[in-house]
Amino acid sequence: MHKQRAFIGHHGPELLDDGTTRFRIWAPDAQNVSLIVVGAQTLPMTANEDGWYSIDAPYGAGTLYRFLIDDELQVPDPASRAQAGDVHAPSLVVDTNSNYLWRNPNWLGRPWEETVLYEMHVGLYGGFAAMEKHLADLAELGVTAIELMPIAEFPGDRNWGYDGVLPYAPEAAYGSPEELKHLIDTAHGLGLMVFLDVVYNHFGPDGNYLGRYAKHFFRHDQQTPWGDGIDFRRREVRDFFIDNTLMWLLDYRFDGLRFDAVHAIPDRSFLTELAERVHASVEPGRHVHLVLENEDNRASLLTAGFTAQWNDDGHNVLHALLTDESQGYYADYHQDATTKLARFLGEGFIYQGQNNRRGEARGEPSGHLPPTSFVLFLQNHDQTGNRAFGERLVSLADADALRAATAMLLLSPMVPLLFMGEEWGARQPFLFFTSHHGELADAVREGRRNEFAEFAEFADEATRERIPDPNAVSTFENSRPDFSARQEPGHSEWYALYRELLSIRHREIVPRLQGARFLESRVLAQAAVLSRWQLGDGSRLRLELNLGTQAAPLPTASISGELLFASREATHAHDQLAPRMARLYLEKAT
């Protein structure tokens, strides 16, 4: 067992050695601020330089408190480490120094090349403690890292997590900070890394009081899909989020973070400073990985301290080929899809400065990056949950084509990500859910339905009424995977496939990934490509992929190599690749 010293940042309460607590808040637009100790007293706080207020008060761990702004508005601590209930409830002083004894204090993480990610929603598993029960099965399957959708305190007790307003406080409906640490500790004991999805581009619509007492936290000259942009030019704002990053990595010992929608953070210098601070703060020898979601495809960030980026381009072209869908953003990938498939497999990003359907240039060249700079997936929370009815790919695609794409996903040199339940072909939908109330609930429900008004199948209002209400409890419950179905007919076959492919990946691909690079990718026929990668030990990996309905011709001068996997039996001549089939070969270095 091991106690660790807590990370002390600029924001939030600090337990002092004498048992008192230093409370502080950045409130430059407040005339005065007081500390309300629930059930005890109200104490005026001292105004310091640059809009800070502070007080050392004789209260320790377990204290419930609020801040009183200008003698009229009670607010939670924006850097609360835990809430006694929801986002409007009192904040709770947490003893992050000694409240948890780590059983695996020497865990240093795993190299990025070993990563197989598995995205999970904590609420659908029943909370931190209930999620622990599934970890051993994931490790046995071949998963090496779980990724939690955002857990920062959000309004209500059902939410995807992107409506968070108190980014330092784990969601109370999921469990305590100690239970979160126990989950991470248990994962480490099983050899699993733990990643967390964090949201630094906006706050949710309910429970964010910053605009009242720190209005310059935001900038009104810059708009995002969620309202005024966050002003990352200000030191206090930068520290608020960088300290949050360091808290998750140092206090909770997460192995990595996924940064949501950084294209909505236009200040690149904030991102590079964050990465620099992280790498300077973690102990020597520890593996910590920083992963981006970035629609702008800014490849240059992947040589500036960030490990990898979610490759939406790869997903989108694969989805278009597997389903023939072409509405919405799939229109950018459906046209000339085979050429785009070859570019993604041969260079990482598809859009590297080319114009999209709106005539907007997007992306930076990416072919010089290693394939491991890209996190690839066939499904995730966005791509499944942003569908009107949350259908999973197993319900949308031909089974043989999906098996071929799965082989490519798990055996390519890119880092694979699975979405919970994918590995056994779960058919429960993953729907968009919240637990808002009143006018906000109405606005979210109508806004959700109006999102699909431009789609032909939802052109009339009556059809849109069928889209599940995000605030209904049934929407949340219907999204819960049936974890007992894994060994049932129709599901066990998928599970066996994922298990076999991950075994091959760890045996043949992972040991050769460091130093891998793109070689070539060419079109064979409609929806069919041949791609090759140079691996770090000098061997070469070859993918023959045909997602189409017709056999594809193969080059007559075929390359020798050991067949690692074929997604189905070959039914054509040796110089052809059968429809909806994938084969992967390894040509080992001599």
Catalytic residue, candidates 185, 260, 347, 382 = 260
Nearest to 197 by CA among 230, 142, 160, 166: 160
Whose tokens are 């389903």? That residue is: 323
Q: Residue 260 catalytic?
A: yes
Distance, in Å, from the CA atom of 468 to the CA atom of 462, rounded to the nearest integer, reads 13
Catalytic residue, candidates 77, 293, 313, 382 = 293
Q: Residue 469 catalytic?
A: no
The CA-based angle 562-568-571, given to 5 degrees, is: 95
Please count the residues of the chain.
590
Distance, in Å, from the CA atom of 326 to the CA atom of 334, rounded to the nearest integer, reads 6
Distance, in Å, from the CA atom of 142 to the CA atom of 501, rounded to the nearest integer, reads 9
Q: Give the CA count within 13 Å in the CB-facing half-sphere of 186.
A: 18
Number of CB atoms found within 10 A of residue 582's CB: 25
At residue 273, φ and ψ (nearest 5 deg) are: -65, -40
Distance, in Å, from the CA atom of 65 to the CA atom of 76, rounded to the nearest integer, reads 8
Tell me the sheet residues that pair with 377: 417
Q: Which residues contact 402 (CB under 8 A, 6 or more apart)?
A: 322, 378, 393, 394
The full 3-state SS of 56-85, as one line of letters, equals EECCCCCCEEEEEECCCEEECCCCCCCECC
Beta strands (DSSP E) in 515-556 are 517-525, 528-534, 540-546, 552-553
Q: Which residues contact 274 (CB under 8 A, 6 or more apart)?
A: 238, 241, 242, 245, 290, 305
Q: What is the DSSP track for 366-431?
A: -TTS-GGGEEEES--HHHHHTSTT---GGGTS-HHHHHHHHHHHHHSSSEEEEETTGGGT--S---
Q: Which residues contact 359 (CB under 8 A, 6 or more apart)?
A: none
Q: Which amino acid is at 372?
A: T
Q: Which residues contact 510 (CB under 8 A, 6 or more apart)?
A: 113, 114
First to last CA, the chain: 47
* Contact of 56 with 16, CB cutoff 8 Å: yes
Q: Which residues contact 334 (CB under 8 A, 6 or more apart)?
A: 320, 324, 325, 326
CA 17 to chain centre: 37
Catalytic residues: 260, 293
